[in-house]
Amino acid sequence: MGEIMDKSKGRIKQAVGDLTGNKKLKREGERDEFRGQVKGAVKDVKRAVRKAVK
């Protein structure tokens, strides 16, 4: 669930940063979105390992 929140928060920050011309906010949004993608990938790897062990 945290991955979805990070991705959504990141997209919102990026959009607001674009609209306002705030480059710092846009970069924060990119980092948040990337963080969500990493969390999702880690979750997928854990799921695959558990499945392989069974």
Share of the chain above pLDDT 70, in %: 98
Q: Is residue 4 within 8 Å of 23, Cβ to Cβ?
A: no
- Mean pLDDT within 14-29: 97
For 22, 24, 54, the CA distances from 37, given in Å and listed in that order, are: 23, 20, 26
Reported as a pLDDT band with limits 50, 70 and 90, residue 7 is very high
Predicted structure pTM score: 0.82
Backbone angles phi, psi at 8, to 5 degrees: -65, -45
